[in-house]
A and B are shown apart, each in its own frame.
Chain A
């Protein structure tokens, strides 16, 4: 009935190779929490989250014990707050972030995502207020995460919003300068943002989502790395096949835990996100997989091809393992959260430009990148515009989570701690993009045929 080798393989994956469920994220609609009185609205938000998520932690812990697999994070995503807060009588939305923070603390989740706005074609009043509140919201709360969608393939890129987000990121860094710009680590600027992403900091509960839903994120770079290292002489066909098989097994765990969590919480099961999410732990690195394929250091020539193969094979294996796949579903390449990426940057092998090329073939973008504190808002906006253009043209999600660390320069390292890891300061181009960024308006949506 059970094969001994299979049982031992599973146990080895968890104990030696860091296989875990990265996150169970409960998506909660707050569309019924709008009210003209901001206080009333905030109370409704707090009440609804604490009511629906009160058993999230308990169920997560039960499942960990029964299935013997760590569930690293239990989190919550909510309707973009710009939409919920819009009908209230105040222009200051920071108190909404405090309401989310209180709810997150009450139910014991470490992050709550959805202090968000979707402005790819333009701003509403609520979007404007929300974006203005982001730097303070991130400075005054610990667990609230924020995201803003500034472009889509169908709408083009809102360059006014791109420029504004450059300034917002600078301000968030300034307000959290005492914590090395930690506020920026909780803020993601997206193009083509998915509405069912379980991963922070970019998670929110989209408007097409049900009342409440459970989404899963799995993680297993270490498992894939070891599988790849076991076949040093395999050709690319066999390499891809091995990754597919491994991704299948990893994703099955997410599917199993997700179905069971959904049953116990009495909430529908949404999706499994197939993303290979690294952690700062040794051996839990996406860069290590690429290097296991035969690259001396991540970032050297061949890295983009290796990543493309990895990303596609993970999707093929994962899609077979789950009834509903969604979210970001691609390999993550955050710098500060991946020991191998950090090593590659410190060795001079991996640059911002190469990272940008890599984001053409995987999710999710320039992620957890620390840059010198004197990087201007215009340069950051231009970096966002480049990433958004890649997403817009290729009909994929791209994002930027960048931290201009005040007082730090190239060669310095900042420690964020925990899952956020540590980041070497990476150089940016010193030539100005200011005149380009300041033009304003929108970059038109791209043509969808003639695709070369």
Chain B
């Protein structure tokens, strides 16, 4: 883990009440940051919107904190909860 090149993939999670334009809004932010989306999974449970995206940072010039801030702004604007975390968090916590 420490010796090889660090992965540039992250997980974006979006939680909130369903409404028009959530996917468009979030993907628009990611596109403007030149962050590539590798996978999207989305579901709605009783009007509760959940979206999990796997994204790749290698094409982006921006760092985590900057993209995170832009997503925070979007979250604020749309009344959602958006979080971006390096994929290692999930890999490490749940896999041996």
Give the B-binding residues of A (Cβ under 8 A): 1-4, 6-11, 61-62, 65-69, 249, 252-253, 255-256, 259-260, 262-263
11 contacts between A and B (CB under 8 A): A6-B93, A65-B63, A65-B65, A65-B68, A66-B86, A69-B85, A252-B92, A256-B88, A256-B89, A260-B88, A262-B2
- Judge whether B83 is part of the interface by a CB distance below 8 angstroms: yes
What does the 1/0 interface line of B1-30 toward A look like (CB < 8 Å)? 110000000110101000000000000000
**Structural contact, A69 and B89, CB atoms closer than 8 A:** yes
CB distance from A94 to the nearest CB of B (A): 40
Contact A67 B85 (CB under 8 A): yes
Chain B interface residue count: which class?
A: 20 to 34
**Neighbour of A10 across the interface among B10, B15, B89, CB < 8 A:** B89
B86 close to A67 (CB less than 8 A): yes
In the bound complex, residues from chain A placing their C-beta under 8 Å from that of B92 are 252-253, 255-256
Contact with A along B64-80 (1 / 0, CB 8 A): 11001000000000000
Which of A7, A62, A252 has a CB less than 8 Å from the CB of B65? A62
Whether A7 pairs with B13 at a CB distance below 8 angstroms is yes
Q: Bound complex: CA of A145 vs CA of B7, how far in Å? A: 38
Closest Cβ–Cβ distance, residue B55 to chain A (whole Å): 12
Across-interface contacts of B93 in A (CB, < 8 A): 6, 10, 249, 252-253, 256
Cβ distance B80 to chain A, nearest Cβ, rounded Å: 13
Partner of B52, one of A2, A67, A68: A2
B64 neighbours in A (Cβ, 8 Å): 62, 65-66
* A7-B52, A65-B65, A252-B92 known; A2+B1 contact, CB < 8 A: no
A-B residue pair count with CB separations less than 8 angstroms: 70
Given contacts A4-B41, A6-B94, A249-B93, A11 and B88 within 8 Å (CB-CB): no
The answer to whether A68 and B84 touch across the interface, beta carbons within 8 angstroms, is yes
Do A253 and B65 have beta carbons less than 8 Å apart?
Answer: no
Whether B65 lies near A67 (C-beta < 8 A) is: no
Q: Determine which of B41, B43, B63, B90 lies in contact with A6 in the assembled complex, contact meaning CB atoms within 8 Å.
A: B90
> Taking the complex as formed, is B54 at the interface, i.e. its CB lies under 8 A from any CB of chain A?
yes
B-side interface residues toward A, CB under 8 Å?
1-2, 10-11, 13, 15, 39, 41, 43, 50, 52, 54, 63-65, 68, 83-90, 92-94
In the bound complex, what is the Cα–Cα distance between A371 and B41 (angstroms)? 56
Complex-state Cα separation, A3 to B2, whole angstroms: 24
Q: Which of B50, B54, B63, B84 contacts A1 (CB 8 A)?
A: B54
Most A C-beta atoms less than 10 A away, residue of B10, B43, B63, B88:
B88
Residues of chain B within 8 A of A262, CB atoms compared: 2
Q: A252-B92, A256-B92, A259-B1 are in contact. Are A2 and B87 (CB under 8 A)?
A: yes
The chain B residue with its CB closest to the CB of A69 is: B89
Chain A hits for B41, CB < 8 A: 4
CA distance A255 to B96 in the complex (A): 12
What is the CA–CA distance of A69 and B64 in the complex, to the nearest angstrom? 13
Q: A2-B11, A7-B13 are in contact. Are A67 and B50 (CB under 8 A)?
A: no
Smallest distance from the beta carbon of A270 to chain B beta carbons, Å? Answer: 14
B85 touches A68 (CB 8 A): yes
Query: For residue B2, which residues in chain A have a CB less than 8 angstroms away from its CB?
Result: 259, 262-263
A7 touches B90 (CB 8 A): yes
CB-CB under 8 A from A1, the residues of chain B are: 39, 54
Given A4-B50, A67-B85, A68-B84, 20 new contacts (CB under 8 A): A2-B11, A2-B52, A2-B54, A2-B90, A7-B90, A10-B85, A10-B90, A10-B93, A62-B65, A65-B65, A65-B68, A66-B10, A66-B65, A67-B86, A67-B89, A68-B89, A249-B94, A252-B92, A256-B89, A256-B93
> Which residues in B have their C-beta under 8 angstroms from that of A8?
13, 50
Q: What is the minimal beta-carbon distance from B93 to any residue of chain A, in angstroms?
A: 5
Distance to closest chain B CB from A26 (angstroms): 17
Q: Which of A3, A7, A67, A249 has its CB near the most chain B CB atoms (within 10 A)?
A: A7
Q: What's the Cα separation between A293 and B37 when bound, in Å?
A: 44
Chain B's closest residue to A3 (CB) is B94
- How far does the alpha carbon of A7 sit from the alpha carbon of B69 in the complex, in Å? 21
CA distance A343 to B90 in the complex (A): 35
| Chain B residues with CB below 8 A from A260, complex form | 88
Q: Closest 8 interchain pairs by CB?
A: A68-B85, A65-B65, A256-B92, A6-B94, A66-B64, A66-B86, A252-B93, A252-B92
Distance in angstroms between the alpha carbons of A2 and B86 in the assembled complex: 13
